Structure 1
């Protein structure tokens, strides 16, 4: 309830006075809460470069949609600006603030640390995604770097932090969001009091994919792995029969494959991704559904695959404001898993296709530079403090992970979990320990 934001003595005084005046305690609390929300709005309106886009109610507390004027290049602010979108779910100035980013477009859904701490939540849209994108006249894809985004978030934290006084700030995010918060912590370690990063990949050496290769040799049971590999192989063995089905689907959905170069190349790329996607979103409980690749009909094979990881990359995906920035970041800095696919070697047509530049328009393709990611990797494992990593045992993205330092930092692995691993799914003793650590970091 909002009344928690009112000091106990003040609350008692309000109740006593309102009983005499005929105003109910609930009505008085509502008035006090409204006044507190207005005070926050007044403070937000005074922040240079900040715009209040709208205010909504979320669970009885105000959810502000905001934007902050950011330089396209923090090293050269005269080059131009853009508006970065974020939200602030405000409960009370005395509560902790959870700083969240998903690493893509804006999401204001309540995150697990927010629930654990009953905290305020600030949610940031990553630069160059959806509405947080510069105008074409000043847009330069070379400005989409992990340091520039960390500097964006630093500016937002500096702008909002005075409102919350001595409250603790906890960074969080999942997958690319977990990576983004870790980068933020590396470049601006004084912004946040701690970071809780979920299923955050760490491709510190893009040329070394042994972690991913080992994952696909050990995940699940031997029987499940063999069945999946057989289905993946059969999809390429039966390429001639499957392509018309793939083309019909593309026509029905209005998909084109100019970036990949042809429908055949797009089909092969989707097949290569199939087993990865199976484990990313599914679980071992899905293994019994895998058909016998040698006896299943073409229609049944295509239908099962379409429902279990076979998903095409089209021009419409990287052409929008969500996918293209990610693939650009992967090609430029984040890296990717260049798997060998030894069981498919004799049925592949395009041996060099499995990399992010393949799905990007020609003008967005770039060369890889891994220096920043290697630097972050070293810093996290040696100097990082108050960082918690949560990974899924059966999540391919968790196969190459950050290694926490010995400075009050931790790593948890959720048994049997996929890319949706959460603290709530840890064994009871580990869950209790993880939640206790987060509360301690937040001063609770």
Structure 2
């Protein structure tokens, strides 16, 4: 038995030196599983099959509902661990929303061929206390969730750590660095906006110049055509809702309000998720009802304003309406055809029994920290993405930090989309931060899907 364990240990050591994950030894022990089981507060729910060379675990971590009052309740925060090797760097992927059903490697994880821990954001179900106090959903509480998870897993992964996330996930990663700047070695935030002053937006200015004039005019014409044909579209929406089991009474209030919200959101969502290549798909006035319906459903999705679509994102709308701010986009070109003004404001998208009050200043404080004290930060945005109108901005005190803009990029922009010289610089910086310059890279696998930014409803970062 002693000889068998010595051989197993030798094999594991050789695997580490080769940059390969060590397998469980033939005597039946599993060092990684044993170490995970030994972390206080961490529960291993199970292990799923995945690509060769990786292990995929579903986990939860016990978090206080209120970190300032640990006795006031708790919840289990959902995590996934994509294990590569104990000797590799580790990337904490802050989703900002719920946890993706499919595990995939984010771009930084692929670049450093590292381990990855993905964290569901607090209050996205099921990572929510049984009787939630919504006042506990703020950027400091969420940052402290991430701090505790990272500190707990450092007992297993002792190498360098990076954080990453896209859109609200990127915002979340930056907030964590603000409150716990020494938790990790660097942060790569993709398409992450920072609405510094909520009532002073630049989104209208951006939408007035993005793309070409004919495409922008076609979008406005399609919106006006849809609102003029409101009865036909409303009949179609009502039938669609009945067939799909969708309701509108609990949050937004009525199908007509949902229809109007979808139409108003279309230009923002068009540039966020689509782009110039789809301008020809915009239906001209007089197009068939099917063409009109399909365009707005593909661009915005009518179901996103049903109760079933909104309920999953109530935590985001709550955060937008209390701390993050939201994009105020003018609806003046449609004013004569609208029945419900300001329908897309967060207060109208959160159940009325949840108390909300906007507290200005949180994002300005984050912006000041990035500009004066932020370090090892990388921001990647798309020039055609409306959210890039109000980005995080580096300042005179930012150290070893970088800001990249993908030409023509939308809300799915990544480092690999940058011009060649900038891409090479950014990739080298990420590997330098991770201490992975000399570690062998790994070719793409089926885990390298574009799941860094799951599709979200319109006007959600």
Whether TM-score is above 0.5 comes out as yes
Distance 1:424 1:102 in 2: 20
Distance 1:409 1:158 in 2: 24
Q: Secondary structure at the match of 1:345?
A: helix
Matched, 1:198 2:193: no
Shift of 1:13: 9.4
Q: Secondary structure at the match of 1:218?
A: coil
Distance 2:431 2:295 in 1: 44
Q: Which residue number corresponds to residue 185 of structure 1?
A: 177
Matched, 1:67 2:60: yes
Q: State the Cα deviation string for residues 123-175 of structure 1 (Å, max 9, x = none).
A: 11111112211112xx111111111010001000110112222x111100011
Q: Secondary structure at the match of 1:180?
A: helix
> What is the correspondence of 1:122-201 to structure 2 with a 5 Å cutoff?
122-136=117-131, 139-165=132-158, 167-201=159-193
Matched, 1:368 2:358: yes
Q: Secondary structure at the match of 1:317?
A: helix
Matched, 1:296 2:287: yes
Q: Which of the residues 319, 338, 343 maps onto 1:353?
A: 343
Distance 1:180 1:271 in 2: 29
Q: State the Cα deviation string for residues 184-220 of structure 1 (Å, max 9, x = none).
A: 01010011110000111211111011x2111111111
Matched, 1:328 2:318: yes
Shift of 1:120: 0.7
Q: Which of the residues 356, 359, 381 maps onto 2:371?
A: 381
The 8 Å contact of residues 12 and 23 in structure 2, kept in 1 or not, is answered as: no
Q: Which residue number corresponds to residue 383 of structure 2?
A: 393
> What is the TM-score of this pair, normalised by structure 2?
0.86
Q: Secondary structure at the match of 1:411?
A: strand
The 8 Å contact of residues 383 and 409 in structure 2, kept in 1 or not, is answered as: yes
The 8 Å contact of residues 258 and 302 in structure 2, kept in 1 or not, is answered as: no
The 8 Å contact of residues 271 and 310 in structure 1, kept in 2 or not, is answered as: no
Distance 2:265 2:153 in 1: 41
Matched, 1:89 2:82: yes
Q: Which residue number corresponds to residue 6 of structure 1?
A: none
Shift of 1:14: 6.9
Q: State the Cα deviation string for residues 350-401 of structure 1 (Å, max 9, x = none).
A: 2232201212211125111132222111111221010001111111222211
Q: Which residue number corresponds to residue 216 of structure 2?
A: 225
Shift of 1:310: 4.9
Greater share of helix: 1
> In terms of mean alpha carbon deviation, does 383-392 or 53-62 score higher?
53-62
The 8 Å contact of residues 84 and 127 in structure 1, kept in 2 or not, is answered as: yes
Distance 2:155 2:297 in 1: 50
Distance 1:59 1:298 in 2: 45
Aligned residue pairs total: 416
Distance 1:100 1:85 in 2: 12
Q: Which residue number corresponds to residue 282 of structure 1?
A: 274
The 8 Å contact of residues 262 and 296 in structure 2, kept in 1 or not, is answered as: no
Q: Report the structure number with the largest CA radius of gyration.
A: 1
Q: Secondary structure at the match of 2:163?
A: strand
The 8 Å contact of residues 259 and 302 in structure 2, kept in 1 or not, is answered as: no
Matched, 1:339 2:332: no
Q: Which residue number corresponds to residue 47 of structure 1?
A: 39
- Greater relative contact order structure (CA < 8 Å, 6+ sep): 2
Shift of 1:56: 2.6
Q: State the Cα deviation string for residues 324-349 of structure 1 (Å, max 9, x = none).
A: 11111111111111211221122112
Q: Secondary structure at the match of 1:257?
A: coil
Q: Which residue number corresponds to residue 240 of structure 1?
A: 231
Residue ranges of structure 1 left out of the alignment (5+ in a row): 1-8, 16-25
Q: Which residue number corresponds to residue 457 of structure 2?
A: none
Q: Secondary structure at the match of 1:361?
A: coil
Q: Which residue number corresponds to residue 21 of structure 1?
A: none
> In terms of mean alpha carbon deviation, does 363-372 or 175-184 score higher?
363-372
